[in-house]
Amino acid sequence: MSQTKSDNRIATYSEFWFFYLQEHSNSTNRMLHFIGTTFVFIFLITGLVTQNYKLIWLCPLAGYAFAWVGHFKVEHNRPATFKYPFWSLISDFKMYFFFLFGKLNKEIEKSKSYKF
């Protein structure tokens, strides 16, 4: 059963996580997110190590550019960032590491039982 508030907003992060995965059901969309987040890490680490802090400004551009292409051109849905910015950011990194360590498919399967 959904734990949403009366204004149709998701009330808990654990519920949001499964909603987030459903909004990323297309593997191409997930791959675009993975590529964008990889660039975020590259720009962040390179900027810090080289002390070229201007590179850090590229992080949001890289992350959002790939993600939004994935949503608008591939998945054909609205990014959850517009309604849940903090939870979406957390979930992007969570999805990245679940993918990296081979655990994402199991999470996606669990998310399919939730109805929103």
Q: pLDDT tens, 30-79?
A: 999 999 999 999 999 999 999 999 999 999 999 999 999 999 999 999 99
Decide if 100 is inside a domain. yes
Decide if 17 is inside a domain. no
Decide if 5 is inside a domain. no
Number of domains in the chain: 1
Decide if 79 is inside a domain. yes
| Mean pLDDT to the nearest integer, 99-112 | 96
Decide if 107 is inside a domain. yes
pTM: 0.88
How is residue 57 written in tokens?
A: 């400004």
Q: Range of 96's domain?
A: 24-111
pLDDT, residue 114, reads 87
Q: What span, in angstroms and rounded, lies between the C-alpha atoms of 66 and 68? A: 6
Of the candidates 77, 75, 84, 90, the one whose C-alpha atom is nearest the C-alpha of residue 4 is: 84
Decide if 34 is inside a domain. yes
Decide if 16 is inside a domain. no
Maximum CA extent, the chain: 50
pLDDT, residue 50, reads 98
Q: Helix, strand, coil shares of the chain as percentages rounded to 5?
A: 70, 0, 30
Decide if 116 is inside a domain. no
